[in-house]
Chains A and B, each alone.
Chain A
């Protein structure tokens, strides 16, 4: 069964304290791995797509990396406005459509 597991469930950081969020996946043929940011009561906001092991994407303080078993979202010198839930999702080869299988998310709180 295709599965996505994110850790930790919650993370508290001081402003400027860098850290990484983990997304482990077991899927029958990874077609794409996606990172989204979600603020409370709002829709997920697209951040990155990764397709193959070794691929990296960067945007401001965020950097996403991908291996054959997991992805990391590195947050460098976070600011309070980075506080949100970060969702990882995969498109699996078992599906011939673009539906996403989500992890449970990591809720990040950055304190000033």
Chain B
């Protein structure tokens, strides 16, 4: 069965650079979520989209933005990167508010 696809799997950036993370949800899923998971931490909700419209927003820094495109894929854009942004970033998708299925994540390292 198709799963949530994230790219890239690993990303190394320098401080103050910009990063773009991509997410391809499970086909026919209408909701996409982004989570950030720091080392030894639980996933923290960043932002979500329902039918390409932003539906909820969590503790997402102003330096981050996201959008969902007409083909339902989503991108998380992160600017002015800081060392503290180093984390695993997960995308998840669901059909409305049923169980969310997570991708394998993008490991971002800021040096």
Contact = CB atoms under 8 A, between A and B. Distances in A.
B105 A98 contact: no
A5 to B, nearest CB: 11
B49 to A, nearest CB: 10
Given A97-B50, A99-B33, A99-B56, A46 B99 contact: yes
A102 B97 contact: no
Q: Is the interface of A mostly helix, strand, loop or mixed?
A: loop
Interface residues of B, number: 29
Interface string B3-20: 010000000000000000
A78 interface: no
Contact of B43 (A31, A46, A98, A102): A102
B65 interface: no
Interface of A: 31-32, 34, 36, 41-46, 49, 87, 91, 95-105
